Amino acid sequence: VQLQASGGGPVQAGGSLRLSCTAPGRTLSRYSMGWFRQAPGKEREFVGAIRRSGSGGARYYADSVKGRFTISRDTSENMVYLQMNNLKFEDTAVYYCAVAERHLAGLMTRASDYSYWGQGTQVTVSS
């Protein structure tokens, strides 16, 4: 599965961005998907996840983004989105979308559980 993430860029604190993830030739609604981010010098961290449509599509978020970020799907466009509002300086990172080929128990927070990763898109928040 080849994933393509896009939508990153520079933004001022308090602003919004919407990241997109698609996989040409694959139906993303069949997969549970996650968003992760990695800031310079830091470990990759969980941002949020959405279960595949057949498993109910539940969403999970890291505490640091809860209430500000929203994951959604557009099955007609074969896209998964990460809407990011009220961005903070500490949200600056490269953001990755990832696909889980198998069912994941719990909150789907472990990067090692995901099989395929996009190339990442840079989000830079200026204070």
Tens of pLDDT, residues 5-20: 999 999 999 999 999 9
Q: What is the pLDDT of residue 1?
A: 81
Reduced to 3 states (helix: H, G, I; strand: E, B; else coil), residue 71 is strand
Please state, in angstroms and rounded to a whole number, the distance separating the CA atoms of residues 93 and 75: 27
Minimal CA–CA distance to 32: which of 86, 115, 99?
99
The mean pLDDT value of the chain amounts to 95
pLDDT in tens, 73-114: 999 999 999 999 999 999 999 999 999 998 888 899 999 999
Handedness of CA 72, 75, 76, 80 (dihedral sign): positive
